[in-house]
Structure 1
Amino acid sequence: MTPTANVPGLDDRITGSLLGAAVGDALGGPVEGCTPEQILERHGGRVTGIVDPWNGDDRRTARPAAPCREGDGHVTDDTLMTHALIRVYEKVRDHLDAYAVADHLVPELMNFPAWIPEPEAEALPLQRLLLAEKWVVTRLHYGHVDPREAGNGNIVNCGAAMYMAPVGLVNAGHPRAAYAEALDITGAHQSSYGREAAGVFAAAVAAACAPGATPVSVVDTVLSLAKDGTEAAIEAVAEVACRYTDFESALAPLRKAVAPFDTVGPDYRAPSLGARRPSRLHSIEELPIALGMLLVGGGDFRHTVLGAVNYGRDCDSIAAMAGAIVGALHGEPAVPADWAKRVTEASRLDPHAPARTLAGVAREVFARDAEARRAHETAFAALTGADR
């Protein structure tokens, strides 16, 4: 089917997804870790767009573990990791696996300076990452661990999932393939439900790229793939989300729905003693809530992403995931132009070059996959006598 004004094509969906993820990330960054009540008090109402850093000029001492300028349109490590993975795809120009992380992503993080928006400085991406992501470098570069097993022992959080949108876009329209590839890649980063969430998020982006996809079809697709606590959490959140069309009234019910599966506990800044340990019963919080807000917002970018932002807690990742899915559903026009302009200028991002790169890779990968599939069909036909 030829793309039309109402049916965005591959390039438009890839641009929309990457831009949507960056905008969601930038909007959520300033209120990350806060509760909806704290957001109301700090901003005198709900966040409705790009806001200033939470602690203003005191940010470097107020949060010494992450002394960054989250706010004013600056993207966070979610977007930095996403773009680093795109550069790996640009080099490999094929499906990726855990060995690609060791051979290409780790050197990207360690050796190639980039503009880091929050401190507003040129630096190595590794210097901005938190310990859960530095684990990848520690295990692979210094520990020489088998890449497929390097994620074992890391804390289980959304760190592996947060940058998997490119995997869904390279496998656009093929959620099962996206799920499998993301699981392979993130064996180098995490285990358990953190790795599972990475596969499911990539599948959600791939499902959103299918012509005619809707928020409901995306959620139904990922539920057919998700396993264990991740499946149960998405199902529980989706059941609640479908009752609401206004994110304000949905904030508390969605948190209540996901709480039994979330190991962090009620105080995001003070995780419980059982937080982020491997389990078949639990799920990261971010992906189910992103999918829930997708349903509440009906696929509208502003409503979906602002719901994710005002949810608080790890809302930069929630909003980045939600923005990536909505952008894949509707293409670049879905992302508000005023937000896109502010974020790309403040973060010094080129909104189109990474998308062009990834679209080119996706076409090459599809052509190679199609050739391999035809070869398999020929071989299978010969084995079964179907060619006689």
Structure 2
Amino acid sequence: MRERVLSTLAGLAIGDALGMPTEGKAPHDITPVTNFQAARGMPAGGVTDDTQQAVIMARLLIGNDGRIDPRRLADELLDWERDLRSRGIRGLLGPSTRAAVTAVAAGEPLEKAGRHGTTNGAAMRIAPVGIVNPPELPLLVDRVVEASWVTHNTGVALAGAAAVAAAVSAGIGGASREEATDCAIEAAELAARRGNWVAAGDVAARIRWARTMNPADIASLIGTSVATQESVPAAFAVLAHNPDPWEACRVAASLGGDTDTIASMAGAIAGACHGAGAFPEEAVRTVTEVNELPLPELADGLLKLRARN
């Protein structure tokens, strides 16, 4: 189980780093990704907010007995964003998280800050919640909502986050990718009834569709934007057609659009389901050293919490 937790965290960072140089590009402008590349002022293997926010989430869980306090999360995200700005780093925050933390900073009540959050920020950082909590529904969905509503309090965003968390949780428990995807679909169906309703495609239905579609159609039919109903099913589509975790991350990073987030979600789920040896040792070493990620420390802290649940 510890190897599965380590592979989850490593896969998240590896997918993020592989997709970092291609984020926002059109598919026809991307040479198929084979390894890490330097780009956007970042070194090869550098990660973005996908990994950085997941680390924030992991540390909050470890420091608060496995629960996320919404006020503390909002404060941590605000402090993190201020630190980025002080160092001249901009453009990392997604639209929903940026809008929510800006609203909180301006005095908006927490309960209102995330009411319009529909994009994939909740899903991209939710893997630690899946590590800590067994795949027991609807309790896991409750924990996902608790960890997400301050920035993403809509049914579509919560469904996407629940799908990723449930797949990770099931994988940590020994589930295959197919079994983890079944759990993800069930969790997405439950979470879609939570939060504010918005007009958006159904995440669970689109994950089902993703399993059977032609993988060449992922970008054109599912879509690869920051919209939760596109990026989360796209990650599951990649996993359905690419059983090797390292290959899945590289394929996701080559799709175009929000490649770093799609690849990070795919990497986290693939790592959870595959466990030891999911990714090349050199790739794990690169993302760990380049970004100074305390993966063993975080893995041990999260695993202790899961053992108590």
TM-score interval, smaller chain: 0.7 to 0.9
The answer to whether residue 283 in structure 2 is matched with residue 315 in structure 1 is: no
Task: Report the CA distance shift for 1:71/1:292 in structure 2 as closer, same or farther (over 3 A).
Answer: farther
Distance 1:214 1:340, change over 3 A: same
Equivalent residues in 2 for 1:1-388, closer than 5 Å: 9=1, 11-40=2-31, 46-53=32-39, 68-70=40-42, 72-96=44-68, 100-102=69-71, 104-111=72-79, 128-147=92-111, 149-154=112-117, 156-174=118-136, 176-190=138-152, 191-211=154-174, 213-227=175-189, 229-240=202-213, 250=215, 252-259=216-223, 283-298=228-243, 300-364=244-308, 366=309
The 8 Å contact of residues 236 and 257 in structure 1, kept in 2 or not, is answered as: no
Distance 1:125 1:106, change over 3 A: farther
Aligned residues: 297
User: How far off is 1:115 after superposition?
Assistant: 9.1
For 1:90, the aligned partner's letter is I
Inter-partner Cα distance in structure 2 for 1:256 and 1:124: 35
Distance 1:186 1:194 in 2: 9
**Ranges in structure 1 where 5+ consecutive residues have no aligned partner:** 1-8, 41-45, 54-67, 242-249, 269-275, 277-282, 367-388
In structure 2, C-alpha distance between the alignment counterparts of 1:204 and 1:12, rounded to whole Å: 16
Query: Relative CO higher for 1 or 2, CA cutoff 8 Å, sep ≥ 6?
Result: 2
Write the deviation string for residues 215-245 of structure 1: whole angstroms up to 9, x where unpaired: 211222222232361122112211215xxxx
How far apart in 2 are the matches of 1:319 and 1:51?
15
AA aligned opposite 1:94: G
For residues 88 and 180 of structure 2, what CA distance do their matches in structure 1 show? 36
- Tell me how far apart the structure 2 counterparts of residues 77 and 340 of structure 1 sit (CA, whole Å): 18
Give the unaligned 5+ runs of structure 2: 190-200
Specify the alignment match of 1:371 in structure 2: none
Q: Secondary structure at the match of 1:352?
A: helix
TM superposition shift of 1:207: 1.7
1:135 aligned counterpart, secondary structure: helix
Distance 1:173 1:232, change over 3 A: closer
Q: Is the 8 A contact 2:114 2:149 kept in 1?
A: yes
Larger Rg: 1
Shift of 1:143: 2.3
Preserved contact between residue 132 and residue 305 of structure 2 (Cα < 8 Å): yes
1:103-156 Cα deviation digits (max 9, x unpaired): x2223234479997xx9xx95999953453233323334324143x421134x2
Amino acid aligned to 2:173: A
Q: Identity across aligned pairs (percent)?
A: 28
Q: Give the SS at the match of 2:123.
A: coil
Q: 1:332–1:352: structure 2 CA closer, same or farther, 3 Å change rule?
A: farther
Displacement of 1:169? 0.5
